[in-house]
Amino acid sequence: MTHAPYNDIAAWYDRYLQEQPVYEDVVLPALLSLLGSVQGQAICDLACGQGWLARELARRGARMTGIDLAEQQIVLARQYEEQEPLGISYSVDDVQVGASVVEGCFDGSICILALMDIPDIEAVFRTCRRILKPGGWFVFAITHPCFTAPDAQWMETADQQIVRAVRGYFQERFWRSTAGGIRTRVGAYHRMLSTYLNTLATAGFALERLVEPIATGKYAEQMPGYREVPSLAMIRASAIVLNNAVK
Protein backbone atom coordinates (compact mmCIF):
# COMPACT_ATOMS: atom_id res chain seq x y z
CA MET A 1 0.00 0.00 0.00
CA THR A 2 1.14 3.58 -0.75
CA HIS A 3 2.99 5.33 2.07
CA ALA A 4 0.75 7.68 4.06
CA PRO A 5 2.69 10.77 5.25
CA TYR A 6 -0.11 11.69 7.66
CA ASN A 7 0.74 8.58 9.67
CA ASP A 8 3.97 10.28 10.69
CA ILE A 9 2.25 13.43 11.97
CA ALA A 10 -1.01 12.01 13.35
CA ALA A 11 -0.79 13.48 16.86
CA TRP A 12 0.56 16.81 15.60
CA TYR A 13 -2.17 17.06 12.95
CA ASP A 14 -4.89 16.30 15.49
CA ARG A 15 -3.71 19.26 17.60
CA TYR A 16 -3.30 21.44 14.49
CA LEU A 17 -6.94 20.94 13.50
CA GLN A 18 -8.06 22.05 16.94
CA GLU A 19 -5.75 25.07 17.12
CA GLN A 20 -6.04 26.61 13.64
CA PRO A 21 -9.06 28.95 13.22
CA VAL A 22 -9.38 28.42 9.45
CA TYR A 23 -11.32 25.20 9.99
CA GLU A 24 -14.05 26.69 12.19
CA ASP A 25 -14.06 30.18 10.66
CA VAL A 26 -13.87 29.35 6.95
CA VAL A 27 -13.93 25.65 6.02
CA LEU A 28 -16.94 24.47 8.02
CA PRO A 29 -19.28 27.41 7.26
CA ALA A 30 -18.49 27.26 3.54
CA LEU A 31 -18.98 23.50 3.46
CA LEU A 32 -22.33 23.67 5.24
CA SER A 33 -23.52 26.38 2.85
CA LEU A 34 -22.78 24.09 -0.09
CA LEU A 35 -24.33 21.01 1.50
CA GLY A 36 -27.56 22.34 2.94
CA SER A 37 -29.43 19.81 5.07
CA VAL A 38 -27.70 16.43 5.37
CA GLN A 39 -30.31 14.85 7.63
CA GLY A 40 -30.66 11.16 6.81
CA GLN A 41 -28.18 11.21 3.94
CA ALA A 42 -25.51 8.53 3.51
CA ILE A 43 -22.22 10.39 2.99
CA CYS A 44 -18.68 9.14 2.42
CA ASP A 45 -15.82 11.28 3.70
CA LEU A 46 -12.89 10.53 1.39
CA ALA A 47 -9.49 11.04 3.06
CA CYS A 48 -11.32 11.73 6.31
CA GLY A 49 -8.23 12.07 8.52
CA GLN A 50 -9.12 11.91 12.19
CA GLY A 51 -12.78 12.40 11.33
CA TRP A 52 -13.48 15.98 12.38
CA LEU A 53 -15.80 16.71 9.47
CA ALA A 54 -17.43 13.30 9.60
CA ARG A 55 -18.35 14.09 13.20
CA GLU A 56 -19.69 17.53 12.31
CA LEU A 57 -21.99 16.07 9.66
CA ALA A 58 -23.02 13.11 11.82
CA ARG A 59 -24.12 15.57 14.52
CA ARG A 60 -26.35 17.12 11.87
CA GLY A 61 -28.04 13.83 11.09
CA ALA A 62 -25.91 12.34 8.30
CA ARG A 63 -25.01 8.66 8.17
CA MET A 64 -21.25 8.89 7.79
CA THR A 65 -18.54 6.58 6.47
CA GLY A 66 -14.91 7.69 6.50
CA ILE A 67 -11.91 6.24 4.69
CA ASP A 68 -8.27 7.28 4.85
CA LEU A 69 -4.95 5.78 3.84
CA ALA A 70 -3.25 6.75 7.12
CA GLU A 71 -3.91 4.05 9.69
CA GLN A 72 -2.99 6.30 12.61
CA GLN A 73 -5.57 8.85 11.50
CA ILE A 74 -8.22 6.13 11.51
CA VAL A 75 -7.07 5.04 14.98
CA LEU A 76 -7.71 8.59 16.22
CA ALA A 77 -11.06 8.77 14.41
CA ARG A 78 -12.21 5.54 16.07
CA GLN A 79 -11.09 6.85 19.46
CA TYR A 80 -13.25 9.93 18.96
CA GLU A 81 -16.14 7.66 17.96
CA GLU A 82 -15.73 5.68 21.18
CA GLN A 83 -15.79 8.90 23.21
CA GLU A 84 -18.84 10.27 21.35
CA PRO A 85 -20.73 7.50 19.54
CA LEU A 86 -22.22 8.96 16.35
CA GLY A 87 -22.54 5.80 14.30
CA ILE A 88 -19.62 6.62 12.01
CA SER A 89 -17.86 3.74 10.25
CA TYR A 90 -14.14 4.18 9.49
CA SER A 91 -11.85 2.08 7.28
CA VAL A 92 -8.20 2.21 6.27
CA ASP A 93 -8.44 2.53 2.49
CA ASP A 94 -6.73 4.29 -0.39
CA VAL A 95 -9.25 6.76 -1.86
CA GLN A 96 -7.61 6.23 -5.25
CA VAL A 97 -9.06 2.71 -5.07
CA GLY A 98 -11.91 2.75 -2.55
CA ALA A 99 -11.87 -1.03 -2.09
CA SER A 100 -13.85 -0.88 1.16
CA VAL A 101 -16.82 1.09 -0.19
CA VAL A 102 -19.69 -0.40 -2.16
CA GLU A 103 -20.75 0.88 -5.57
CA GLY A 104 -23.75 3.18 -5.72
CA CYS A 105 -24.54 3.33 -2.01
CA PHE A 106 -23.97 6.99 -1.05
CA ASP A 107 -26.14 10.07 -1.51
CA GLY A 108 -23.05 12.26 -1.40
CA SER A 109 -19.34 12.40 -0.79
CA ILE A 110 -16.84 14.96 0.46
CA CYS A 111 -13.08 15.32 0.13
CA ILE A 112 -11.92 18.33 2.10
CA LEU A 113 -8.38 19.72 1.80
CA ALA A 114 -6.96 16.35 0.79
CA LEU A 115 -6.69 16.29 -3.00
CA MET A 116 -3.45 18.29 -2.81
CA ASP A 117 -1.96 15.29 -0.95
CA ILE A 118 -2.95 12.70 -3.54
CA PRO A 119 -0.96 11.88 -6.69
CA ASP A 120 -3.87 10.72 -8.88
CA ILE A 121 -6.95 12.93 -8.57
CA GLU A 122 -8.56 11.25 -11.59
CA ALA A 123 -8.59 8.00 -9.61
CA VAL A 124 -10.18 9.75 -6.63
CA PHE A 125 -12.91 11.23 -8.81
CA ARG A 126 -13.56 7.81 -10.34
CA THR A 127 -13.87 6.30 -6.85
CA CYS A 128 -16.31 9.01 -5.88
CA ARG A 129 -18.37 8.58 -9.06
CA ARG A 130 -18.53 4.81 -8.53
CA ILE A 131 -19.78 4.92 -4.95
CA LEU A 132 -22.49 7.54 -5.51
CA LYS A 133 -26.11 6.81 -6.22
CA PRO A 134 -27.42 8.12 -9.57
CA GLY A 135 -27.45 11.92 -9.39
CA GLY A 136 -25.45 11.93 -6.15
CA TRP A 137 -23.41 14.97 -5.18
CA PHE A 138 -19.72 15.53 -4.50
CA VAL A 139 -18.15 18.45 -2.62
CA PHE A 140 -14.41 18.98 -2.40
CA ALA A 141 -12.19 21.74 -1.05
CA ILE A 142 -8.64 22.56 -2.07
CA THR A 143 -6.16 25.24 -1.16
CA HIS A 144 -6.79 27.79 -3.89
CA PRO A 145 -4.29 26.89 -6.62
CA CYS A 146 -4.31 30.40 -8.08
CA PHE A 147 -2.90 31.86 -4.87
CA THR A 148 -1.06 28.96 -3.24
CA ALA A 149 1.25 28.12 -6.13
CA PRO A 150 4.70 26.99 -4.95
CA ASP A 151 6.41 30.34 -5.51
CA ALA A 152 3.57 32.58 -4.28
CA GLN A 153 4.39 34.99 -1.46
CA TRP A 154 2.93 37.89 0.47
CA MET A 155 4.25 41.37 -0.25
CA GLU A 156 3.55 44.83 1.10
CA THR A 157 3.25 47.78 -1.26
CA ALA A 158 4.70 51.24 -0.67
CA ASP A 159 1.31 52.37 0.68
CA GLN A 160 1.22 49.36 3.06
CA GLN A 161 -1.29 47.31 1.12
CA ILE A 162 -0.96 43.52 1.37
CA VAL A 163 -0.76 41.78 -2.00
CA ARG A 164 -0.17 38.22 -3.14
CA ALA A 165 2.57 37.75 -5.71
CA VAL A 166 2.21 34.57 -7.76
CA ARG A 167 4.80 32.83 -9.91
CA GLY A 168 4.94 29.35 -11.39
CA TYR A 169 1.18 28.78 -11.56
CA PHE A 170 1.41 26.80 -14.82
CA GLN A 171 4.11 24.44 -13.49
CA GLU A 172 2.22 21.50 -12.05
CA ARG A 173 4.46 19.62 -9.64
CA PHE A 174 4.98 18.28 -6.16
CA TRP A 175 6.47 20.85 -3.81
CA ARG A 176 7.19 21.41 -0.14
CA SER A 177 6.77 24.69 1.71
CA THR A 178 9.49 26.19 3.91
CA ALA A 179 7.03 28.29 5.94
CA GLY A 180 6.02 25.65 8.49
CA GLY A 181 2.63 24.01 8.86
CA ILE A 182 1.17 21.06 7.00
CA ARG A 183 2.80 21.69 3.62
CA THR A 184 6.26 21.75 5.18
CA ARG A 185 5.64 18.35 6.73
CA VAL A 186 3.87 16.49 3.91
CA GLY A 187 4.24 18.69 0.83
CA ALA A 188 1.54 19.13 -1.82
CA TYR A 189 0.74 18.56 -5.47
CA HIS A 190 0.20 21.88 -7.19
CA ARG A 191 -2.31 21.76 -10.05
CA MET A 192 -4.05 24.44 -12.05
CA LEU A 193 -7.70 25.08 -11.24
CA SER A 194 -8.57 24.03 -14.79
CA THR A 195 -6.94 20.65 -14.15
CA TYR A 196 -9.25 19.99 -11.21
CA LEU A 197 -12.39 21.06 -13.08
CA ASN A 198 -11.57 19.31 -16.35
CA THR A 199 -10.65 16.08 -14.56
CA LEU A 200 -13.90 16.32 -12.62
CA ALA A 201 -15.87 16.61 -15.86
CA THR A 202 -14.01 13.69 -17.44
CA ALA A 203 -14.96 11.54 -14.44
CA GLY A 204 -18.66 12.13 -15.11
CA PHE A 205 -19.55 15.12 -12.93
CA ALA A 206 -21.33 18.38 -13.71
CA LEU A 207 -20.24 21.52 -11.85
CA GLU A 208 -22.97 23.04 -9.69
CA ARG A 209 -21.18 25.73 -7.71
CA LEU A 210 -17.71 27.04 -6.97
CA VAL A 211 -17.21 29.00 -3.74
CA GLU A 212 -14.15 31.07 -2.83
CA PRO A 213 -14.74 32.00 0.83
CA ILE A 214 -13.29 35.15 2.33
CA ALA A 215 -11.34 34.91 5.59
CA THR A 216 -13.38 35.80 8.68
CA GLY A 217 -13.01 35.80 12.45
CA LYS A 218 -9.71 34.86 14.05
CA TYR A 219 -8.42 33.50 10.75
CA ALA A 220 -8.79 36.93 9.13
CA GLU A 221 -6.91 38.49 12.05
CA GLN A 222 -4.18 35.88 11.68
CA MET A 223 -4.00 36.06 7.87
CA PRO A 224 -5.36 39.47 6.76
CA GLY A 225 -4.21 38.92 3.18
CA TYR A 226 -6.97 36.36 2.76
CA ARG A 227 -9.48 39.18 2.99
CA GLU A 228 -8.08 40.23 -0.41
CA VAL A 229 -7.67 36.85 -2.14
CA PRO A 230 -9.23 33.47 -1.31
CA SER A 231 -7.21 30.81 0.46
CA LEU A 232 -9.62 28.04 -0.55
CA ALA A 233 -11.73 26.90 -3.46
CA MET A 234 -14.75 24.70 -2.71
CA ILE A 235 -16.63 22.92 -5.48
CA ARG A 236 -19.99 21.15 -5.52
CA ALA A 237 -20.71 18.83 -8.43
CA SER A 238 -23.33 16.23 -9.28
CA ALA A 239 -22.90 12.82 -10.86
CA ILE A 240 -24.23 12.90 -14.42
CA VAL A 241 -26.98 10.38 -15.05
CA LEU A 242 -26.60 8.90 -18.51
CA ASN A 243 -29.83 8.46 -20.46
CA ASN A 244 -29.51 5.36 -22.61
CA ALA A 245 -33.09 5.36 -23.75
CA VAL A 246 -33.57 5.01 -27.52
CA LYS A 247 -35.26 8.07 -29.01
Domain boundaries, the chain: 5-144+188-239
> Residues in the chain with pLDDT < 70?
1-2, 243-247
Distance CA 138, CA 109 (A): 5
Say if CB 50 and CB 77 are below 8 A apart: yes
Distance CA 132, CA 107 (A): 6
H-assigned helices in the chain: 10-19, 22, 28-35, 52-59, 71-83, 121-131, 182-185, 193-202, 217-222
Q: pTM for the complete prediction?
A: 0.94
Q: Please state, in angstroms and as integers, the Cα–Cα distance from residue 111 to each residue in 12, 108, 121, following that order.
A: 21, 11, 11
Q: Tell me the sheet residues that pair with 108.
A: 43, 137
User: What does the pLDDT look like over 64-117, one tens digit per residue?
Assistant: 999 999 999 999 999 999 999 999 999 999 999 999 999 999 999 999 999 999
Distance CA 41, CA 58 (A): 10
CATH T-level topology, domain 5-144+188-239? Rossmann fold (3.40.50)
Distance CA 235, CA 108 (A): 13
pLDDT at position 247 is 34
Amino acid identity at 224: P
